[in-house]
Chain A
Amino acid sequence: MSEEKKITLIIERQDSPESAPYEETFEVPYRENMNVISALMEIRRNPVNAKGEATTPVFWDMNCLEEVCGACSMIINGKARQSCTALVDQLEQPIRLAPMSTFPITRDLAVDRSRMFDSLKRVKAWVPIDGTYDLGPGPRMAESKRQWAYELSKCMTCGVCLEACPNVNSKSDFIGPAAISQVRLFNSHPTGEMNKSERLETVMGDGGIMGCGNAQNCVQSCPKGIPLTTSLAAIYRDTAIESFKSFFGSDNKL
């Protein structure tokens, strides 16, 4: 074998949360059906940059490797997506990798997505069933409803929608589309619905639904194809109705 095919990666790196970012270029041998993660693994196996200098291996986050965990999100050639499903054959060369700028960077390509989990806690993204005694089986859910609700439940808190959103940034406290969509999911559940008003009141507060500017990048970027803009519009509608119920009064306020 005379000439080995190589792929070039230009990676934005950062040694620690506080240190300055810098770019480093790597060349790794090409294999068939490579994804970005296998290229990063190659760098980890042989941490030498394109200039032939020994360097520290590039750090990134990953877990499931099948686009269900949401851990390996990063910016690949300008767009946020999962590195596990980013196939090298389908990417423009050189491949540019960068951490998602919306989140605090822990190291290299790994970010801290804590704010998303904090948002899920804020909006009570669960069905409360704990009690001091057995509450028995809950009300049944219509199959037609379950089908669309299931789509919303595919959210893996990967952070791609927050990264793509022009209104999620350091100047705004918008919690992002992911948590708002979960409000719709848990409000659609027959038992979860019992806390409907509470969830809506939360997203009518700081960083809530009004942070949305309808740029609709979220629905274009979501790796799970979740109808995020439909969820946002649903919450726009629900909060409008909630405002009327709350101000003028209603017996149907949950």
Chain B
Amino acid sequence: MAGNRDYINRRIHSLLGVLPIGLFLIQHLTVNFFATRGPVAFNAAAHFMESLPYRYVLELFIIFLPILFHGIYGVYIAFTAKHNVSNYGYFRNWMFMLQRYTGVITLIFIAWHVWETRIAIGLGWVDLNYQLMENILTNPFFFWFYVVGVVSTTFHFANGLWSFFVSWGITMTPRSQRIMTYVSIIVFLAVSYVGVRTLFTFAYGI
């Protein structure tokens, strides 16, 4: 392929953020949302996901490898920027900075979340069920840690979707980019609602 390694890495980074990571995020939050229908519904949905065929292959290629690449390369991108919102306080410049900040927060959150759930389950320390998340989220510190983590993730996804549309040359004109900004705000609010609503169910049973 034309272009050097940096170019190809950036293209892969941009693509992976939406496909498959963005899709996985929506799927993950949707399955979790079953919790609002009660522990039985959540356990059934979680068990269905857990018993998918060739599950380790799916996890490896749809979740772990893409997130590792996107996360590690993303940290490198985040640290090559020199933020200047104090002098150039434009909306997009703020979004540019927040995209990098939320990326780092999200990576820390996901690392902790995967350790506490998927790895702990894999090592047989805990079982995948409603109880697991209820135990974590009834602790106020971890409840707010999860709220920040989830909102940071949904922001990073929604704003990343906006830059994805620019980076692949779909939205070129200022008008299309502005409309995509509105779309990304709606995506952010909708996906955040799904994520945070579930957290409230686990924490307060509402």
Contact = CB atoms under 8 A, between A and B. Distances in A.
B92 A243 contact: no
A234 B172 contact: yes
Contact of A205 (B3, B97, B173): B3
A140 to B, nearest CB: 25
Contact of A237 (B10, B95, B97, B172): B172
Interface residues of A, number: 41
A78 B169 CA distance: 32
B2 A204 contact: yes
Interface string B162-177: 1100111111111001
A166 B166 contact: no
B88 A217 contact: yes
B166 A214 contact: yes
Interface of A is mostly: helix
Interface string A34-60: 000000000000000000000000000
B174 A237 contact: no
Contacts of A166: 81-84, 93, 96-97
Contacts of B92: 214-217
A220 B172 contact: no
A46 B79 CA distance: 45
B6 A171 contact: no
24 contacts: A79-B88, A164-B84, A167-B82, A169-B80, A200-B2, A204-B3, A204-B4, A206-B4, A210-B6, A213-B81, A214-B166, A215-B92, A217-B93, A221-B88, A229-B177, A230-B172, A233-B171, A236-B169, A237-B170, A238-B169, A240-B168, A240-B169, A243-B1, A243-B2
